[in-house]
Structure 1
Amino acid sequence: MKYVIIGGVAAGMSAAMEIKRTDDSAEITVLERGKDYSYGQCGLPYVVNGLIPSTEKVIARTVETFREKYGIDARVHTKVTSVDTENQQVFSFYLDSDQPFTLTYDRLLIATGSDPILPEWPGMDLDGIHTLKTLRDTNALMDDITERVEHVTIVGAGYIGLEMAESFRSIGKKVTLIQRGDQLAKIFDEDMSKLIEKEAVYHQVDIKLEEEVTGFSGKNRVEAVMTDKGTYSTDLVLVSAGVKPNTKFLQDTGIQMNREGAIRVNAYMETSIPNVYAAGDCATHYHIIKQLDDYIPLGTTSNKQGRIAGANMAGNPITFKGIVGTSIMKFFDLALGRTGITETEAERLSIPYEVEIREDTNHASYYPGVETLHTKLIYHQKTNQLLGGQMIGRQGVDKRIDVLATALYNQMTIQQLQDLDLAYAPPYNSVWDPLQKISRKT
């Protein structure tokens, strides 16, 4: 059986390894447009500020490991131009030499991930304007952070924008954060986002909300960012305006996609075309709470979908159960956690809901080192089923968000949180966990 995988990072290599476990005789060819395989993109902001010493440290397995230990034909610097789904062929070429080649497949996995959104702003070709998605991006950015760079401007306040604001501040750079919307971190509701904004201001991040970037100016290197409200001098720019699925090369294949360009897949990671599968940041993700296909590109989901795709491609039918939209990030001294849907999403989906908000402590109030936890729960107005939760604080956010994610996966009601047997000792919790205290209000 010949397997071809397009994309050699999270989903692609999770699939390749699962195929190897399931089908000993598999012939696997992986096509990767970069030079690096199987690395943790989420660790890149911490490479920039030196917490992780180099990009090599975020590589899980090297290209050589896949070739020599697992017998995978792992190719680098290859670009796929098109796929003939009728004759089951992939057309590609080597970026280093422009030499074309064609592969036939019995099973094909599209795991091409996502690309940064780069609006066609004037001046985008100036030196000093960066994105952060790959190891190459990271190394280029680090090479450009010299002593002459005193002021950095970040465009976009999502995951990468916020993490990089912290990263640049930690190495002594002045930071301006420009967001076209009216709040930071749109994955949170506005009231919770105010806590994030307060933390940013405390750490001297200059925030510009409701400003639209219109272009960049400079001679050879960027010197200023222009918006619809002003012009700001800068020494370096990081564009973090979101991502889009890398699927443009599939437009004439008949493979069904959503309006964002994400490939529609079923629970077996199958596309609308026989023998073609998709997984990760280029595919849709079934959302258990919304009960529809969503697009929330995260590393955890990519690895899960990749493993499931590989198993099904190799003849071991297992299904992807879906996501509940769980994520957490570090922002200066705070942990920002969320799962399920927000109040904003509930309104957009016309779901009747109620909200509970509570400020509590991360452990017993009499034990030293107590910190504040801000918690918001959303639940169904009629059934009391949990719909989502957001939590922000210095300590204890991670364990509670995972509890909520588990509760959402199992479609529990807000009252059933009170019945959970959660760990307690004064250094870690109160006799009633904050999630149980907030659930008693209903």
Structure 2
Amino acid sequence: MKFIIIGGDAAGMSAAMQIVRNSTGNEVITFERGSIYSYGQCGLPYAINGEVKSTEDLIARKPETFEEKYGIRTNTYHEVTKVDCEKKIVFGTNLQTGEAFEESYDRLLIASGASPVLPPWENKDLDGIFSLKTIPDAEAIMEYMNDDTKDVTLIGGGYISLEMAESLVSIGKRVSLIERGDQLAKIFDWDMAALIHTHAEEKGVQLHFGESVEGFEGDTTVETVLTDKGSHETDLVIAAIGVVPNTAFMDGTGVSKSINGAISVNRFMETSIKDIYAAGDCATQYHRIKQRDDHIPLGTHANKQGQIAGLNMIDQPKAFQGIVGTSILKFFDLTLGKTGLSEREAASLHLPYDSVTIESTHAAGYYADSRKDTMTLKLVYNPETLQLLGGQIIGKKGIDKRIDVLATALYHEMTTEQLLDLDLSYAPPYNSVWDPLQQAARKAKRRKA
């Protein structure tokens, strides 16, 4: 069979590798509109401040590796612009030559990813205004930034802005962050986000809430950010207000789309059109707690969905088991972990919910300086059934361990009562006799009683 894959990053190449490793005699062709295959997008902020020594370190495999070692035909700078689903042909443009191309397929995977949102701000084309999604984006920022770049403005309060705030402060830049809402990291409830705000300000990040960017001023390079509340002088701008799935080329095909234009897929990564699959940032993910499709574009999901798509494309059925919405972020001295639903999300879904919040230590209270490394842990649960709905943890140590335990508990639809029954590891340097998760579960139990 002849397989075409649109997109050369996590989902697309995970699928391609499954096809070549688990079948023989097939032709695999990939089209990527950029020049780089299989790289770690999440490492880009750490390349900018030098924590990652080179952007080359973020590349897992180069196109020639896929060609020479695995027999996958790679096409860089090839953008697919149209798909004829009846004739099974993809059409596009070679961005280097301007020439049109077309290629037939037996089965097609759409793994075209997502692109940063850039509103129609006035003068948004001035030099010094960037988004951050690809290695060329990061390299452009690094090339533009020099010793004269003193003030950097971040637009948006999501994870990329938080990571970039830390990255830029660590190399001596003054950082301002503009957010049109009232908090950073909107996946957290406001009471937890307040901890992030305090820490950001302690680290010198200037926060501007309730401001909407309207445009920019400068001769050829950006000098001022204009908002509905005033202006901010700046030497460089990074806009990170969200992404939109790259699915416009499928308009008119009849393929079903869902949240934010993401292509709707079933558990086998099949779209509404026969022999067309989708995976990664351009596709939906089934959320096990919400019990509906969602769109949470993360590399973990892209790799899993890509592998599953590849197997299903060669008739080796495997179902995607869904997500619970787990994420983690390093923000200066804090680790921010979240999984499942926040109170805000539970309310929007009209689910009965309650929550408990505790302060605890990552280790036994009497051990060394554990009191200096406290964590704030919040559990969201159904007060009627005690089923866990989600959790948020912010602190300096031990966050990753707890958020992963909680993610596992959510996957298995556990209750707060069942959290108490878990046999979790204990030694004074690592935990209390009752883990912080269990301490929160006990508080929920007392509340119900």
Normalising by the residue count of structure 1, what TM-score does the alignment of the two structures yield?
0.99
1:292 and 1:259 map into 2 onto residues whose CA distance is 11
1:369 and 1:55 map into 2 onto residues whose CA distance is 37
Q: Following TM superposition, by how much is the alpha carbon of 1:116 offset from its aligned partner in structure 2, in angstroms?
A: 0.1
1:366 and 1:150 map into 2 onto residues whose CA distance is 44
2:235 and 2:107 map into 1 onto residues whose CA distance is 48
Residue 276 of structure 1: aligned partner: 276
2:271 and 2:180 map into 1 onto residues whose CA distance is 35
Given candidates 381, 405, 408, the residue that maps to 2:407 is 405
Residue 186 of structure 1: aligned partner: 186
- After the TM superposition, list the runs of 4 or more consecutive aligned residues in structure 1 that deviate by more than 2 angstroms: none
Residue 157 of structure 1: aligned partner: 157
1:414 and 1:291 map into 2 onto residues whose CA distance is 20
SS at match of 2:232: strand
Residue 374 of structure 1: aligned partner: 376
1:424 aligned onto 2:416 = no
Residue 342 of structure 1: aligned partner: 342
Equivalent runs, 1:159-174 vs 2, <5 Å: 159-174=159-174
SS at match of 1:133: coil
SS at match of 1:260: helix
- Percentage of pairs with the same residue: 57
Residue 48 of structure 2: aligned partner: 48
* Residue ranges of structure 1 left out of the alignment (5+ in a row): none
1:423 and 1:308 map into 2 onto residues whose CA distance is 33
Residue 79 of structure 2: aligned partner: 79
2:405 and 2:100 map into 1 onto residues whose CA distance is 50
Equivalent runs, 1:43-442 vs 2, <5 Å: 43-370=43-370, 371-441=373-443, 442=445
RMSD of the TM alignment (CA)? Answer: 0.6
CA contact (8 A) 2:15 2:309 kept: yes
SS at match of 1:440: helix
1:399 and 1:335 map into 2 onto residues whose CA distance is 11
Read off the aligned partner of 2:185 and give its amino acid letter.
Answer: A
Read off the aligned partner of 1:240 and give its amino acid letter.
Answer: A
CA contact (8 A) 2:259 2:294 kept: no
Q: Following TM superposition, by how much is the alpha carbon of 1:143 offset from its aligned partner in structure 2, in angstroms?
A: 0.2
Q: Following TM superposition, by how much is the alpha carbon of 1:259 offset from its aligned partner in structure 2, in angstroms?
A: 4.4
SS at match of 1:50: coil
1:30 and 1:426 map into 2 onto residues whose CA distance is 52
SS at match of 2:79: strand
1:348 and 1:414 map into 2 onto residues whose CA distance is 22
* Residue ranges of structure 2 left out of the alignment (5+ in a row): none
Read off the aligned partner of 2:422 and give its amino acid letter.
Answer: L
2:301 and 2:323 map into 1 onto residues whose CA distance is 8
Read off the aligned partner of 2:385 and give its amino acid letter.
Answer: T
Q: Following TM superposition, by how much is the alpha carbon of 1:31 offset from its aligned partner in structure 2, in angstroms?
A: 0.3
Read off the aligned partner of 1:265 and give its amino acid letter.
Answer: V
Q: Following TM superposition, by how much is the alpha carbon of 1:164 offset from its aligned partner in structure 2, in angstroms?
A: 0.2
Q: Following TM superposition, by how much is the alpha carbon of 1:18 offset from its aligned partner in structure 2, in angstroms?
A: 0.7
2:50 and 2:161 map into 1 onto residues whose CA distance is 17
2:439 and 2:138 map into 1 onto residues whose CA distance is 43
Deviations 1:373-427 (A, max 9, x none): 1000000121110000000000000000000000000000011101111111111
Read off the aligned partner of 1:404 and give its amino acid letter.
Answer: L
